[in-house]
Structure 1
């Protein structure tokens, strides 16, 4: 039978009649399958063709057919095809295609890898598939990196990332750093920070280098329930090898936020630790924590900032106030978190009907004193309990006064008692819950401003009567109870002396009256 392929001719055009003795069979061709020519058809079998060839080559390898090189690893021989190895790996392409000794020899020995890893590697080269396990992943990664098979190397890295656990994340992080796997190293670091409490209980943690441990315990991203966890982890690491690690104690404790430890824990556990007691370099850190327990936010350092995971954050608290229309006093106490941008309601202010009271923050609590109604009452907001508690009353009832905090004590300054303005001041000690009279100001004022700085409490401005405002600034020094009157910026004497001093990172400019 003869197959004639071509266009179908019109009988009238051809002038040829069909003969009963000769029959022609014509294949119909779909116009959609024509590509550029009326009589051509592009055919593609897709990936099946390549897979078929690889399968055939793998069978050749198993049966040692057409193999032209033998790779020897740990004394074990693997019969392979140079063409297949060169097609998959630039390492072998450089070995076989250049004028190297291996390009002419039948037996090529490769050192530094395991025979098991080589077998899995060749399985991938000839089939495109490899079985990655926890047992072979490290060696298979190193082998694929050596032979520059990057898809297999990346698959090993992905497998390691999925196997992260508190017992192995530190070892995988070190492996990732060794092989410059930035994504895997970053994932290990994040996992360790998020699971630090569990990670610190495993043996890998005790093998950390000092720099590695410092990186973790210094991070604000460290996820912990309380700072005591960090201290215990650091001390466990030191005690694991006391002789070598004892000199590193101070450097580690600099990253532990000792001021945020519970006072009882600090006294009993931290100060009672034998290594800390005999290390004079730790005294400054201990002193800082003690001062913070007394002074609160007056004493700031990098170690007084809570970690994000603790749930503590610095907020702005709004107490009381009145409605815009009608002027009715409001009982609400609310706080604003600048980080999240959210407002949160706190416990309502007792006796909110009063007005013109004073408010200040003492450590992590809030005090409200005086006011037009019940002018001697003082309330303290306990932030841990979210509760207002009545504390010792003022000795002198007052409103339109101000409160300031100096070295852990609260000072109620000036104000009005309903008949006259006050020059008196009172000092509150939260530990004894008592108000004590201190030296009065030289001028009675109401509604002044107060600020503490360089160990002094400054009283600024205020009203000495109903018609004038004071331009004076009074400074109260707690230890001597003496006041310093300095000229305001408004009425500067022409020949006054100007001095500058630096304290706490702030540059202060103090103007004093010229000596007579």
Structure 2
């Protein structure tokens, strides 16, 4: 006996074919009203169905027919909350897995899936919406997903909005956003905008769409725009000259903050001076010079570390790099380096735009192992409004080779032989421990970048330089190892500046 050559089917394939055949037969029975035992009446249309098929597909119908409810004894069941056309599609799905989803019916089908508790139908509708996200509809889909508590679709819609923000704001849906939702979107660091001017213009477009009703929200909205990061010329021509903004006294502090930032640079630190993650300008950490692992040789290198990408980039080498134990600080986004071993008077300025070092006026007196900060646009050693020194709480440590930075009106101190990071609150004159470090780190780098504390290099318990980069979240006190430097280093400068990275 000879058999034709055929591809053998697996048991699973045979089972699937069998199930498909059964469903097709049940669909034919339904169409011809054979063996049906219940009629669903929707908008005066009658659908002859099988209770078993309905119950097998839907928890709603299983509960209706299998738990002794009144409908289980009725031949005709009236359904509310669903249209006849939608019910037709739902039954096609129940009886044969057939489903035609398109933009005009997906919302109705999802509502029906929610009503009838049909997880499979719901999942197919969610997948359709995810695959058809577009700049013109993502806000509507986001609102719909929130209404029906669909977390996955909601998050994908938010992500699409962030990634396509420049295109989304061109559509009518954006102008119809409720204020609360707009505030939520503007607060995100993940808006994929190269320049903050895009965010500012989106806010002004939204306000002007109904200026009479919305101008009262202007201050609240502009607080979420990184106004200090706007181009200075754009700020003068488009922001300071805008009649809606100028007429709002509530907006004046925001304009003053931006003016100060344009004058004093990174000395002014607020949530609005921190670039968004995808901006073409980012906060980056710059490591300047220092000593090698054993502390015997000096290093000429200056390198930029971008926390968002973990990338290290070489910058212009430090001038006269035979010096160590100098001081560095930031002024108007440029780096100043002063002094160094042994009592050097030299002061150099690194232009962060041109990537060059320039010699500037020297110190009146040579210094080394000193510190330098910028205050009100100057490099200074002391300047108090009252021209006086006052005592505060004593530090809970007595160490050399320590570092300090400020963030959100708090001061953080670490280094020396201390194995923890201290936090000082000037308002309460109170010291506390933020977190502990893996060990002592003398002469390390400490800086603030993107609202986090970064510790770079330094001498460990064996008095050898390290290459580790640690990150501390001041809100949670969590400390983690995030990167390694190109080489072990100590006695180096460490600052944060804004630079174009794209």
Aligned to 1:245: 214
**Inter-partner Cα distance in structure 2 for 1:121 and 1:57:** 15
Length-normalised TM-score, structure 2: 0.69
Deviations 1:461-511 (A, max 9, x none): xxxxxxxxxxxxxxx44x78x565989979xxxxxxxxxxxx93532799x
Alpha-carbon distance, 1:327 to partner: 5.7
Aligned to 1:394: 362
Aligned partner (choices 105, 114, 117) of residue 86 of structure 2: 117
**Inter-partner Cα distance in structure 2 for 1:100 and 1:388:** 84
Aligned partner (choices 167, 175, 187) of residue 218 of structure 1: 187
Q: Does 1:317 align with 2:299?
A: no
The question of whether the paired residues in 1 share the 8 Å contact of 2:141 and 2:157 is answered with yes
Q: 1:145 to 1:365 in 2, by over 3 A?
A: same
Of structures 1 and 2, the larger Rg is shown by 1
Aligned partner (choices 402, 426, 448) of residue 507 of structure 1: 426
Q: 1:398 to 1:90 in 2, by over 3 A?
A: closer
**Inter-partner Cα distance in structure 1 for 2:261 and 2:268:** 6
SS in 1 for 2:142: helix
More strand by share: 2
**Inter-partner Cα distance in structure 2 for 1:279 and 1:146:** 48
Higher deviation after alignment, 348-357 or 130-139: 348-357
Deviations 1:143-183 (A, max 9, x none): 12212221111111111111111111110011111111111
**Inter-partner Cα distance in structure 2 for 1:172 and 1:489:** 57
Superposition pairs for residues 376-391 of structure 1, below 5 Å? 378-390=347-359
Deviations 1:217-250 (A, max 9, x none): 1112222111111111111111111111111111
**Inter-partner Cα distance in structure 2 for 1:74 and 1:208:** 34
Higher deviation after alignment, 287-296 or 83-92: 83-92
SS in 2 for 1:309: coil
SS in 1 for 2:278: helix
The question of whether the paired residues in 1 share the 8 Å contact of 2:142 and 2:157 is answered with yes
Aligned to 1:256: 225
Superposition pairs for residues 63-462 of structure 1, below 5 Å? 63-97=32-66, 102-310=71-279, 312-321=281-290, 329-337=298-306, 342-352=311-321, 358-369=327-338, 378-390=347-359, 392-394=360-362, 396=364, 398=366, 400=368, 403-411=372-380, 457=382
The question of whether the paired residues in 2 share the 8 Å contact of 1:73 and 1:110 is answered with yes
Length-normalised TM-score, structure 1: 0.67
Q: 1:104 to 1:281 in 2, by over 3 A?
A: same
SS in 2 for 1:166: coil
Alpha-carbon distance, 1:338 to partner: 5.4
Deviations 1:232-269 (A, max 9, x none): 11111111111111111111111111122222222221
**Inter-partner Cα distance in structure 2 for 1:380 and 1:324:** 26
The higher relative CO (CA closer than 8 Å, separation ≥ 6) is in 2
Alpha-carbon distance, 1:328 to partner: 5.8
The question of whether the paired residues in 1 share the 8 Å contact of 2:343 and 2:366 is answered with no
